[in-house]
Each structure stands twice: as structure tokens, then as C-alpha cells.
């Protein structure tokens, strides 16, 4: 099947060749330029005036160290291999006599190389314990590319710039975890509020 030639002029629905007015494209371009020239320019005086960023801006990644269990899932799923994690195991003594000792992972290093990071957010999505969060912070430029590898102390500082999560929908169903905790608290409060029957002092004497 042969392709239509671009040498032939386009045709109208009736089959007649469509003729363009000479200079119409130039006139349209000049019209756009004139409309833009008459508009008032808006210039944000950065860095004196900070830009108003959207609430879900992808600036840097903050680390909430207390939630990290060193499962290495974020480092394995990272397509750029820009997350570096080191850890060691510690033995936790038994909580009760006769119990068994347990071992747990202790985080030694958590670093992200932002010169390699492509801000895909996969590490944040796959973290099962909510240890990584998006921060709108974007002022972390460096003169040396090697300084773009930020350790866990810097990632922890960025956690304080993470915005609060949006409010829940009033018509949404209550989460099961919150419902279970609320019912348990109500039962405990009801048990404490029940009056206890006073004991007869004669019963104790007899």
C-alpha cells in the first residue's frame, strides 16, 4: 500500500484542493507574540520569595529511622541502586524468665545518592513500615557531585519538612485498626466505671 505524497495539496471535503493564504502562518505567530507581550510578567524573586510548591512535591526523601527494620526492600527495588544500607544483628534478652532470646537488625548506615536518584518514589511505595517519606525540600545543591550522597542524619533532618497527610474523607469507612483500638478503649473505660460491691465487715470477722 503506497503512502500519500506530501507534494499534493490537501483537499476539502468536496475534493477540491485547499489553498492557504500566503503569510497566514506568520500572522498567527505574530498574534500569539502580541498577546504575550501585552500580559503582565510574573517574576518570583527567588530566593527572597520562596515558591508555593504543591503539597505532593517530590523534593528529597526523608527517613524516619525508628520505623526502619533494615528489611532492605527499598534498596533491592531501587532501579538506580542509589540506596546504601549497612546493619548488624544484636541479641535481645528474653522478656520473661524462661523465654528465648531474639535477634534484631540494627541500622548502621542509610544513605541515598541523589546524583543517581531519579525520584520515581518506588522506595517510598514499597516500604512496609512507613520509614520513607517525600519532602518538598529542594535546596540541596552542591558544588561537588560526591556531596550529593546524604547520610541518615541529613535524611532525618528532612523528616521535619514532610507535610502532614491530608485529612480523611468524612464519609470514608473507619480503618479496622482504629475501630478495634476504639472498641478496646471503650470496654476498658466501661469496666473501670462499673461500681464495685462493698464487702460486709461481719463476713470478714466470721
pTM over 0.85: no
Phi then psi for 131, rounded to 5 degrees? Answer: -100, -10
pLDDT in tens, 115-159: 999 999 999 999 999 999 999 998 898 999 999 999 999 999 999
Determine the Cα–Cα distance for residues 31 and 44; give it in Å rounded to an integer: 27
Residues 69 and 87: beta-carbon distance below 8 Å? no
Helix (H, G, I), strand (E, B) or coil at 1: coil
* Structural domain count of the chain: 1
Domain with 125 in it: what CATH number? Answer: 3.30.70.3270
pLDDT in tens, 25-65: 888 889 899 888 888 888 888 888 888 888 778 899 999 99
Q: Closest Cα partner for 68 from 118, 124, 148? A: 124
Residue 47 lies in a domain: no
Q: Domain range for residue 82?
A: 60-94+101-161
Amino acid at each position: 500500500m503506497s503512502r500519500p505524497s506530501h507534494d499534493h495539496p490537501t483537499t476539502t471535503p468536496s475534493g477540491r484542493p485547499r489553498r492557504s493564504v500566503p503569510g497566514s502562518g506568520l500572522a498567527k505567530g505574530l498574534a500569539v507574540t502580541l498577546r504575550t507581550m501585552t500580559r503582565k510578567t510574573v517574576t518570583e524573586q527567588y530566593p527572597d520569595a520562596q515558591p508555593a510548591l504543591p503539597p505532593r512535591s517530590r523534593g528529597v526523601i526523608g527517613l524516619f529511622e525508628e520505623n526502619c527494620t533494615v528489611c532492605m526492600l527499598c534498596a533491592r527495588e531501587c532501579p538506580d541502586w542509589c540506596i546504601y544500607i549497612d546493619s548488624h544483628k544484636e541479641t535481645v534478652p528474653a522478656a520473661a524468665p524462661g523465654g528465648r532470646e531474639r535477634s534484631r537488625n540494627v541500622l548502621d548506615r542509610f544513605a541515598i545518592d541523589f546524583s543517581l536518584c531519579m525520584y520515581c518514589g518506588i522506595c517510598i511505595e514499597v516500604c512496609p513500615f512507613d520509614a520513607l517519606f517525600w519532602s518538598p525540600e529542594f535546596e540541596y545543591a552542591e558544588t561537588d557531585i560526591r556531596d550529593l550522597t546524604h547520610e541518615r542524619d541529613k535524611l532525618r533532618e528532612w523528616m521535619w519538612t514532610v507535610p502532614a497527610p491530608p485529612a480523611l474523607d468524612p464519609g470514608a469507612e473507619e480503618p479496622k485498626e482504629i475501630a478495634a483500638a476504639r472498641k478496646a478503649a471503650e470496654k476498658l473505660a466501661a469496666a473501670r466505671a462499673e461500681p464495685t460491691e462493698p464487702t460486709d465487715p461481719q463476713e470478714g470477722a466470721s
